Amino acid sequence: MKTILINIKKLIQVEELSRKWVAGKDMAVLPFIDNAYLIVEGDKIIDFGEMKDVPVIDDSVIEMDLNGRIVMPTFCDSHTHLVYAGSREIEYVDKINGLSYEEIAARGGGILNSAKRMEEASEDELVESALLRLNEIIGFGTGAVEIKSGYGLSVETELKMLRVIKKLKELVPIEIKATFLGAHAVPVDFKGRQTEYVDKVISEMIPQVASENLADYIDVFCDNGFFTVEDTDRILNAGVKYGLRGKIHANELDYSGGVQVGVKYNALSVDHLEFIGDKEIKSLLSSETMPTVLPGAAFFLNMKESPVRHMMNAGLPIALASDYNPGSSPSGNMKFVMSLGCINYKMTPEEVINATTLNSAYAMGIQDTHGSICKGKKANLIITTEITGYEYLPYAYTSNLIEAVMINGRLIS
Ligand code: NIG
Ligand code: FE
């Protein structure tokens, strides 16, 4: 089946040849075609161009007149924890009332709170609640998402989370990548025995995750008070042996060495990056690792902001992702992530669109099929309402502005 979209006011993020990412000054460049058409066949984009060159089509082709709307590729959200049980709004209220993260954790809050609820939840309940979140973010324009485990923290419950993610892959049309995050926090029963827990991650969890083929990537929370560089080195080294490439949490709380150990193991991405200095930048510049910033978490936790402009000036690419999770970012709205990129990090609209489409596709290993309007790539499109230009999207930060989403050539909403 073929569909032609005509009279597109602006077709943005177009490319003739698929690029792996855009970096440095190129992040400010967003290729587009004014007054465009686009042809979809099956689940793929097969052609696009200016309306003046629109090809003659036969009656079998479905025509959609977009009448001045903008079209862009769907967002790729390369970092989420959207499988979780319950929610943590009580901790949010505790925080408003002045409790510190440590005080909340001492009351049984934080990641360990989610871990306790995860242990009690059934696979069916987890699938059901995650499906609601997935359908919500698809409506917000997300066409591919990475989901982590990490609220299990035991062999059995980590596997349960990953099986839920596997099930979700069958239930939604968007691309899902699964990441094993056994080293998210030290579970209660291993308190004071962190190295033993890391041993367990390496000797029991990774082999089982790999034998059931449940994960695409492996993650470690490498930061002050969580897992050390040595722990991370051991886990990434073990992951490599099972074909699991790293996508790690690094440098959120301190200059943790997380970036360098990630680069050492050729991690696909290092994420958070509030604490970035010249050493981290130098390490990233010589790598194939995508620096990924999570503006929602920094906003929600009132954290120091990642030096994004400094990194781009040094020539690095930047991806932005939502970090959708119950503790530090209870939102998977990538359009809002774009707004935060513009408002808090002084990124331009062109830069945030590059960071949430092409670069975030790379950060989840799908840049050959997603992240841009390119012949042969998936027909995953956002069709906006009638707006003046793409700058309006991050500007009007609470308006939805997404009239329809196309996934694999089919209109979803
Ligand atoms: O990415 N930083 C580590 N982990 C999550 C938080 C998870 C939680 O609090 O539940 C994050 O922000
Ligand atoms: Fe995270």
Residue boundaries of the structural domains of the chain: 2-73+373-411, 76-362
**pLDDT category, 268, cuts 50, 70, 90?**
very high
Query: What is the Å distance from ligand 2's center to 249 Cα?
Result: 6
Say which residue, 108 or 347, is predicted with more confidence: 347
- The reported pLDDT for the residue numbered 102 is 75
At 318-334, the pLDDT tens digits run 999 999 999 999 999 99
Residue having the nearest C-alpha atom to atom 12 of ligand 1: 328
Q: What is the CATH number of domain 76-362?
A: 3.20.20.140
Query: What is the Å distance from ligand 2's center to 12 Cα?
Result: 29
In angstroms, how far is the first alpha carbon of the chain from the final one? 19
Query: What is the Å distance from ligand 2's center to 5 Cα?
Result: 37
Q: Which are the contacts of 245, defined by CB distance < 8 A and separation ≥ 6?
A: 217, 218, 239, 265, 266, 267, 268, 365
Average pLDDT of span 247-259: 97
| Gap between the Cα atoms of 144 and 176, Å rounded | 6
At 141-156, the pLDDT tens digits run 999 999 999 999 999 9
For residue 413, pLDDT over 80 is answered with: no
Q: Three-state DSSP class for 166?
A: helix
Atom of ligand 1 nearest to the CA of 79: 1
Average pLDDT of span 362-378: 98
Residues at CB less than 6 angstroms from ligand 1: 81, 110-111, 114, 221, 249, 252, 297, 323, 325-328
At 93-138, the pLDDT tens digits run 999 999 987 788 778 889 999 999 999 999 999 999 999 999 999 9
Query: What is the Å distance from ligand 1's center to 190 Cα?
Result: 19
Beta bridge partners of 376: none
Taking Cα atoms as reference points, which of 270, 402, 396 lies closest to residue 336?
Answer: 396
Verdict on whether the full-model pTM lies above 0.85: yes
Q: Which CATH architecture has domain 2-73+373-411?
A: Roll (2.30)
| Gap between the Cα atoms of 101 and 87, Å rounded | 16
Query: What is the Å distance from ligand 1's center to 328 Cα?
Result: 6
Atom of ligand 1 nearest to the CA of 252: 2
Residues with CB under 5 A from ligand 2 (ion): 323
Residue having the nearest C-alpha atom to atom 7 of ligand 1: 327
